[in-house]
Structure 1
Amino acid sequence: MVCDKCEKKLAKVIVPDKWKEGASNTTEGGGRKINENKLLSKKKRWTPYGSGTTKCIICKQQVHQDGKYCHTCAYTKGVCAMCGKQVLDTELYKQSNV
Structure 2
Amino acid sequence: LATNAAQDAISLLAKLRAFHNKSQNDKKFEDLKWSGLDLVEGIVRQNKDAGIFEPLISKVKSLKFATEAAITILRIDDLIKLNKVDKKGRDEDEFFAMVCEKCTNKISKLATVHVDKNASGSQRLTNENKFLSSKQKFKPGVGEFKRCRVCKKMTHHIAANYCQDCAYQKGICPMCGRKQIETCKYRQSLT
Q: Do Structure 1 and Structure 2 share a fold, with TM-score over 0.5?
A: yes
Q: 1:84 and 2:177 equivalent? A: yes
Could you tell me which of 23, 42, 47 is aligned with 2:126? 23
Q: Which residue of 1 aligns with 2:147?
A: 55
Q: Secondary structure at the match of 2:102?
A: helix
Q: Which structure features the higher share of helix residues?
A: 2
Greater displacement, 81-90 / 51-60: 51-60
Q: Distance in 1 between matches of 2:178 and 2:104?
A: 13
Query: What RMSD in Å do the two structures reach over aligned CA positions?
Result: 2.9
Aligned-residue offset at 1:97: 6.2
Q: In the aligned structure 2, how far is the partner of 1:53 from the partner of 1:92?
A: 33
* Counterpart-to-counterpart distance in 1, 2:143 and 2:162: 18
Q: CA deviation at 1:89?
A: 0.6
Question: What is the one-letter code of the residue matched to 2:103?
Answer: C
Cα-to-partner distance string for 1:37-86 (whole Å, 9 max, x where unaligned): xxxxxxx7522xx6622111111111121121111100100111111111
| Aligned residue type for 1:77 | K
Count of residues in correspondence between the two structures: 75
- Using the size of structure 1 for normalisation, the TM-score is 0.58
Equivalent residue number for residue 8 of structure 1: 105
Name which structure has the greater RCO, CA cutoff 8 Å, separation 6+.
1
CA 1:21/1:53 → structure 2, altered by over 3 Å: closer, same or farther? Answer: closer
CA distance in 2, matches of 1:21, 1:51: 28
Structure 1: which 4+ aligned runs deviate by more than 4 Å?
none
Q: Following TM superposition, by how much is the alpha carbon of 1:22 offset from its aligned partner in structure 2, in angstroms?
A: 3.9
**Secondary structure of the equivalent of 2:165?**
helix
TM-score by structure 2 length? 0.33
| Structure having the higher Rg | 2
Where does structure 2 lack aligned partners over 5 or more consecutive residues?
A: 1-97, 112-122, 129-137
The offset of 1:10, in angstroms, is 2.2
Aligned-residue identity in percent: 35
